[in-house]
Amino acid sequence: MAVSLTSPVRHFDSLEQEAFLNLWRTYDRLRMLEDQLFNQHDLTPQQYNALRLLRGARPERMSTLGLASRLVTRAPDITRLLDKLEHRRLITRLRLEDNRRVVLVGITEAGLELLAQLDGAVRECHQRQLGHLKRSELQHLIELLKRARTPHEDPENPWI
C-alpha cells in the first residue's frame, strides 16, 4: 500500500514526544537562517555567542569556564572554539601567573568590529525567524520555553 505524500501520517508515542520533535524541527528551521548568516563570516553560532558574551563583559575578561557556562548551547570543546577565534585575532587569552589553570578571555578590537558589522544582520535574521509572531505570542513562547528548560538547568546558571 502506498503512503500519500499529501496527508502525512503523524504518530507520536506521547504528547511530550510530539512537543519535543516539534521543538527540534523548529530549531532546525530557524537555525538554517542563522547558519546562512554566520557562514558568510566564517563563524559558527557558538563562536558568535562567545564573542557577544565577551563584548558584554568588556572591559573585563571572562574565565574560560565562566564563558562556557554562559553559552546558549553547551561547548564540550571550548578550547578548540577559542583556538579558532584566537587564530583569527578576534579574542586574546591570558593565563594567570599565580594559577596557570585559569585562562582569562577578552575580545579584541577586530572581534568588536566583526560584531558591529553583524549587529544589524543578526537583528534582521531574528526578524525573519520570528517576526511573523505577535509580541504577546513571543512573550508566551519565551515563558513556555523557560518553564520547559528550568528543571534541567543548573540553578546557578544565568539563563534561569
- Residue found by looking up cell 509580541 in the block: 135
- Taking 60 as the threshold, does the pLDDT of residue 22 lie above it? yes
Would you state the cell numbers that stand for residue 132, as one nine-digit string? Answer: 511573523
Least confident among 56-60, 67-71, 98-102, 122-126: 98-102
Q: Which three cell numbers stand for residue 23?
A: 521543538
pLDDT of residue 105: 97
pLDDT band at 159 (very low <50, low <70, confident <90, very high): low
When comparing pLDDT for 98 and 113, which is higher? 113
State yes or no: pLDDT of 1 exceeds 70. no
CA atoms of 2 and 102, how far apart (whole Å) = 61
pLDDT > 80? residue 57: yes
Which residue's C-alpha cell is 520547559? 148
State what percent of residues in the chain have pLDDT above 90.
76
The confidence score (pLDDT) of residue 76 equals 78
Mean pLDDT, rounded, for 69-94? 92
Torsion of CA 45, 46, 47, 50, to 10 degrees: 120
Confidence of residue 2 (pLDDT cuts 50, 70, 90): low
- Residue 32 phi/psi, 5-degree rounding, is -60, -45
Domains, the chain, ranges and CATH? 41-145 (1.10.10.10)
What number is the average pLDDT over the span 16-42?
A: 95
Q: So what's the pLDDT on residue 97?
A: 84
C-alpha cell of residue 137: 505570542
